[in-house]
Amino acid sequence: MKNLSLLFILTFICFSCVSKKVTKTVNYNYSNVIFTPNELKGKPLENIILSIEPVDASKINNEIFDAAMRDGSYEKEYLSYSVTSFQDNKALNSRDKKNADVLSKVFTAIDKMRDSRIFDDNIAINFKEKIYQSFFRGEDFGWNGSEINVQSKFDERYANLNPYRINNKYFSLFRLTFSNNGNDIKKVDINNFQVASGNELLYPFKNEYFESTLKEENEKLKYIYRMNLPNILTMIPNQETMKYISIPAINTRNKSLTINYIDGEKITNYLFSVDVETISEEYNFSAYTIESNSLLKYQYYILKLNDYSIFPLNSNTLYINDGKVNDIITVFGIFFDEKGTISHSEITFRPKEIKKNKIKLQLKKSNKQWDY
């Protein structure tokens, strides 16, 4: 009887040691506004070709993020550590002062890695945001890969940069592409545009509106001056340019929408039909574990699925869509301690090539330029 009991215990232990594949299923239900056709062309002025395309305002979040990276405003907007942590150092306790000093030096090392093309600006900024939030502020920050917004190119992550999103709501947005095919200078007046939706007659928001609404958000205003149609758009011969106009969110129960350009007695109409489709999708994910041979205390990871889906992980567990096992994925790692040792590593792989769902990062020895 004792032998039988011992056999049962050993068998139970053996079965307990067998690792099980961890999976997750995510159901995603959403509504999508469809405009038909998706783009229209007209000739509102002599030699001026104007193409109008309704755009989901959330879809330009990444475009705005790219612009923010070019002038450094993303760091100013999101990584205010330079002010809160360093300039106001007197308000910090001794532990936070020490961590702020480590943070500053780690960021300097990350900048050197970026300048040496170890990784690009996008990876560097994601590391800074992750390390600032998790190391300095002690917050659980990041994603695990199974979130739906990762599947939609992670648009909502940069929503706070979007000037066409006021009070957490997006405006209805239209992309306008102008071509001056003539030999004369042409001027396009924003006052000549109007949008008819049902019995509503709407007019594009001018820069003055955004200057008033976003007066405390100078970085967003930069995007308005870059993107929004000015009151008067002046085009020289053979010039092409793209601008945006926005209106309050339309009522999607109205099944048609017309954009008019009125130049004196001439009216150019852009007529769209409007429909709403409800989409239900199911995604299956498998869990992968990131393992490194680093003994350094602080370890942070960035995942790159493609040029848009780049984000910090909240742990060393990563969920990958089962439908993307042939995709090329890169994991970047940064490791450091409070004594001044810092190193990095990366691995590029296809999920189908990973054995036992374990992603193994081999530590790269720290060059002197990374040490602080």
Report the amino acid identity of residue 165: R
pLDDT tens-digit series, residues 231-264? 999 999 999 999 999 999 999 999 999 999 999 9
Classify each residue of 99-127 as buried b or exposed e, where b means 16 or more C-beta atoms within 10 Å of its C-beta: bbebbbebbebbeebbeeebbeebbbbbb
Q: Is 240 helix (H, G, I), strand (E, B) or coil?
A: strand
The verdict on whether omega for the bond into residue 37 sits within 30 degrees of 0, i.e. cis, is yes
Averaged confidence pLDDT in the chain: 85
Please report the sign of the dihedral spanned by the C-alpha atoms of residue 104, residue 106, residue 109, residue 115. negative
Residue 85: pLDDT over 50: no
Q: Report pTM.
A: 0.75
Structure-block tokens of residue 223: 């995007």
In eight-state DSSP terms, residue 369 is G
As a whole number of angstroms, the distance between CA 151 and CA 284 comes to: 12
pLDDT at residue 1 in the model: 42
- Angle between helices 121-131 and 61-71 in degrees, nearest 10: 90
284 and 353 Cβ atoms separated by less than 8 Å: no
Q: In the CATH hierarchy, which fold is given to the domain comprising 30-64+157-279?
A: Immunoglobulin-like (2.60.40)
161 and 220 Cβ atoms separated by less than 8 Å: yes
HEC secondary structure over 307-350: CCCEEEECCCEEEEEHHHCCCCEEEEEEEECCCCCEEEEEEEEC
CA 328 to chain CA centroid, nearest Å: 19
pLDDT at residue 140 in the model: 93
288 and 317 Cβ atoms separated by less than 8 Å: yes
For 122-137, what is the mean pLDDT?
91
197 and 254 Cβ atoms separated by less than 8 Å: yes
Q: Where are the domains of the chain?
A: 30-64+157-279, 71-152+281-370
Q: Is 236 helix (H, G, I), strand (E, B) or coil?
A: coil
pLDDT tens-digit series, residues 181-201? 999 999 999 999 999 999 999
Please report the sign of the dihedral spanned by the C-alpha atoms of residue 57, residue 61, residue 64, residue 68. positive
Which of the two residues, 31 and 79, has the higher pLDDT score?
A: 31
Of the ranges 121-125, 238-242, 368-372, the best mean pLDDT one: 238-242
Give the pLDDT band of residue 74 (cuts 50, 70, 90). Answer: low
Structure-block tokens of residue 278: 């409800």
pLDDT at residue 96 in the model: 78
Q: Is 252 helix (H, G, I), strand (E, B) or coil?
A: coil
For 69-81, what is the mean pLDDT?
57
As a whole number of angstroms, the distance between CA 302 and CA 286 comes to: 18
Residue 78: pLDDT over 70: no
